[in-house]
A and B are shown apart, each in its own frame.
Chain A
Amino acid sequence: MDRKIRVVMAKLGLDIHWRGVYLVSQFLKDSGMEVVYLGNKFPEQIVDAAIEEDADVIGLSSLGGAHMTLGPKVVKLLKEKGLNHIKVFMGGVMAPKDAHCLEQEHGIEKVYLPDTPMQAIIDGIRSKVALA
C-alpha cells in the first residue's frame, strides 16, 4: 500500500509572492500527496506544524531575500529536535550560488529555481522521501 506523502508548505516570513507556492501545492495535491498549506509563517511555527502534521517534507518558498537566513533556521531547528527524517526543499528566486550554498552547506535537500517543471519537483520529492 502506497502511503501518501505529507508535505507542509510555507511562505518564509513576510514574503509576499504566493503564486508559485500555491501552484506547486495544487500540483502536489494532484499527484496524490497530502499538502498542509501554512501560508506565511516563521521558522518555529513551520517546524511545529511539521511535527504536528507528521510531515515527510517541508516546502519553503522564498522570493524576498530571506532564504539565506530563515531557510537554514528551519533546518537547524529540525536538527535540534532530532527530526532528521524530515526533508526540507526550497523554491523561489535567488542567485544560483545561494542555491548551491543552501544545498551543500545548510542541509536543504534541493532548491528549485524558477522555470523548474512541476513534474521535476514532484519526482524530486518522491525520490528523496524514504518511505520506511
Chain B
Amino acid sequence: MLETNLNRNQDPSECLFSDEHVKQIKANYQDWFENSLRDVDRESEGKYFTHSGIPIKLIYTPADIEHLSYTEDIGFSGHPPYLRGVYPNMYRGRFFTVRQLAGLGAPEDCNERVCYLLDHGATGISILFDLPTVRGYNSDDPEAEGNVGACGAAVDSIWDIDAFFKDIDLGTASTNIVTHLPSTSLVIPAMYFAVAEQRGTPWTSVAGTCQNDFIMETCVGSAPEILPPHASFRMQCDVIEWICKNIPKWNPVSYNGYNLREAGTNAVGEVGTAIANAMATADELIRRGMSIDDFAPRMSFFWDLHNDFFEEIAKCRASRKVWYQLMKGRYNAQNPKSLLMRFHVQTAGVTLPATEPLNNVARSAFQGMAAVLGGCQSLHIDSYDEAYSAPTEEAALLSLRTQQILQAETGVCSTVDPLAGSYYVEYLTEQMVKRIWDYIGKIEGMGGLVKAVEDGWLHREISTYNMEYQKKIESGDMKIVGVNFQAATETETTAIEVYEYPETYSRQKSKLEKLRKDRSDTKVQESLDALRNACHREENLVPHCLEAVKNLVTLGEIEEAFREEFGLWAFPLL
C-alpha cells in the first residue's frame, strides 16, 4: 500500500454518526437479521458480489460507513478529496459535454457528419480514424487493404485534416482526436496544429484532446507491427511535454481505461492501470525537468461505463479521490487544478450484444445515467447497433437524444452527486479506493507499469480475466438478457442499415498520387532523416513531426521510420 503522506484526522466528533447511534443500529441489525429474514435470505449472504468481486450485503446501514468523516472522506464538490465532483457547481455550471463520435470514410464525408452533429446540438466532437490510420499506414499501403475508411476516417496527410475540418473554426471547436497510440499522437495532432497555423488560428485558442496512451499500442490492440513499450512510452511523454509547453488549451493525454476494460479487465484494473500510467508519466516528466503542476492539470481520463450500476458510480467517485490522494500525498501538487481528475465516459460497447439490438438502447441509457451520477465531464452513449458496425445516422441521433433527455428531463443534474450519503454507495466507494490503491501498489512493486507491460503481466491479467468471464457467461452465472437469460427461441433480426464508403480507397489513392508529385522530395528526405536521428537521442519528437507534415510527409512514411528505428515487439503471451 503506497504511502500518501496524508494525515488522517480521526476525531470521533468528525464521523457521520454518533457512537451510540451506531451501536444501536448494529444491535437492531442483528435483531433484523435473525428475526425478520427467512433462512434462505440469511443463506444468500456471501453469495452476491459486484462485477469486480466486492461482496454485497442484503442491506446497508450507517454501521457500514461508521468510520467515515464527511469532511475528510466525502467532502464538498470542488474540494478535497473531490469525491463529490471536480467543480463546485458541477452540472449547474456546465453540463457534461455531449460528445459524439464521428469518423467514416474519406475526410470529406466525415466533415459532413461533423457539421450535422454540431448543427443538432453536440458540443464537442470525437474523431475516429480507420485502422490503417490508427496503426500508421497510408491508404495505399498493402497493409491497408480492406480497411480504408471502414469504421473511421482515412487520414494520410495534412491535406486530409484540412478537409476534415473544412468550414469549422479550429479556434472555437473542441476536438477529441482519438489517436489511440502515442506514435499517431505525434503526427495527427501535429497536422491539426499545422492546419490551425496555416489558417491563422493562434495555438492559444486551439482546444481539444488526443488519447496518446502507450497501453493502447502495447496491450489493448494487437497488430502485425507493434512498437516496444519503452519506445511507445517515450513518445507518449514527448507529446505531453511539447503540448503542455505550446498548446495551452489542449489535453495531451487521455488515459484510456475504456479500451483496456473492453479488452478484458474489471473496474479496479481499469482505473488502477490508467493511474499507474499517469504516475509513470509524471515520474518521467519530472525527470525531464518539468514540475507536477506543469502537466497534471492537463491529464484527463477516459472511463468505461459497464453494467453494474452502483459499482460503476462508485468507481467514478473513487477515481477522483485516489487521484487527489496521489497528487497531493505523493507529488505534493500546489496548483488546485492538478488535483482534479476529469474524465470522459463512454458506455460499454462490450455489454451490447448483437441479439435483440434494441435492448441496447435500455442498457446504454442506464449506463449513461450511471455516468452522470458518477460526475463525468463528458459522455458518449453507444449506439444500439454497436455490435454490428459504426453507427447509422438514426442510431447516432438516438444516442445524442438520450444524453439530452438525461440533461433536460430527468432532473439528475440539478444537484451535485445525488448518491452521496447512500450507505451502499459510500461503502462501495471506499472499497474501490482501497482496491485501486492495492492494484497500483502491485504494479509499483513490479518496477512500474512499463516494466509490467514488457514482462507480459498485464496481458496475462487480461487473458485470465477473459477466460473467467467467458466461463461465467457460459455457466449462466453472468446473465445477459436475450442471450443466455430469457433468450428468445426465435431470434428476430432487426433490420440494421450498414453504411459503406467504398470509394474512400480510390479517393485517398489519387490524393496521395497528387501529393507525391506536389511535394519537394529533398524536403521530405531531410525531415525524415532529422526525425530518424532524433529517435536515438533524448530529443522531443513533436517538432520534427510538425516539420515533416508541413513538408507533406505522409503518416505512413513517418510511422515506418519509427518502426525501423525503434524495432518491433510482440505481446509476451505465447
Please determine if A and B sit in direct contact within the complex, based on CB atoms under 8 angstroms apart: yes
Bound-complex Cα distance A98 to B496 (A):
11
Cβ of A19 under 8 Å from chain B: yes
Q: Residue of B at shortest CB range from A44?
A: B142
Segment at the B interface, from A75-83, A113-121, A123-131: A113-121
Interface residues of B in 427-475 (CB under 8 A from A): 462-463, 466-467, 470, 474
Bound-complex Cα distance A14 to B224 (A):
7
Q: Residue of A at shortest CB range from B223?
A: A40
B462 adjacent to A19 (CB under 8 Å):
yes
Bound-complex Cα distance A116 to B440 (A):
35
Chain A at the B interface: SS class = mixed
B143 adjacent to A13 (CB under 8 Å):
yes
Bound-complex Cα distance A113 to B493 (A):
13
Cβ of B321 under 8 Å from chain A: no
A65 adjacent to B467 (CB under 8 Å):
no
Contacts of A85 in B (CB 8 A): none
In the complex, which of the residues A37, A64, A117 contacts B151, with contact meaning CB atoms closer than 8 Å? A64
B474 adjacent to A117 (CB under 8 Å):
yes
In the complex, which of the residues A14, A93, A118 contacts B387, with contact meaning CB atoms closer than 8 Å? A93
Interface residues on B, range: 35 or more
Bound-complex Cα distance A22 to B463 (A):
8
Cβ of B353 under 8 Å from chain A: yes
- A69 with B146, Cβ < 8 A, contacts A40-B223, A40-B224, A114-B353 known: yes
Contacts of B221 in A (CB 8 A): 16-18
Cβ of A104 under 8 Å from chain B: no
Interface residues of B in 552-574 (CB under 8 A from A): 570-571, 573-574
A42 adjacent to B145 (CB under 8 Å):
yes
Contacts of A93 in B (CB 8 A): 354, 387-389
Bound-complex Cα distance A119 to B466 (A):
16
A16 adjacent to B466 (CB under 8 Å):
no
Cβ of B264 under 8 Å from chain A: yes
Cβ of B135 under 8 Å from chain A: yes
Contacts of A115 in B (CB 8 A): 353-355, 480, 483-484
Minimum distance in angstroms from B124 CB to a CB of chain A: 25
The 3 closest A-B pairs by CB, nearest first: A16-B221, A65-B150, A69-B146
Interface on A for B, CB 8 Å cutoff? 11-19, 22-23, 26-27, 37, 39-42, 64-66, 68-70, 73, 93-98, 113-115, 117-119
Instruction: Give 8 pairs: A residue, B residue, CB < 8 Å, sorted on A.
Output: A16-B221, A17-B221, A17-B222, A40-B224, A93-B388, A94-B389, A96-B496, A98-B498
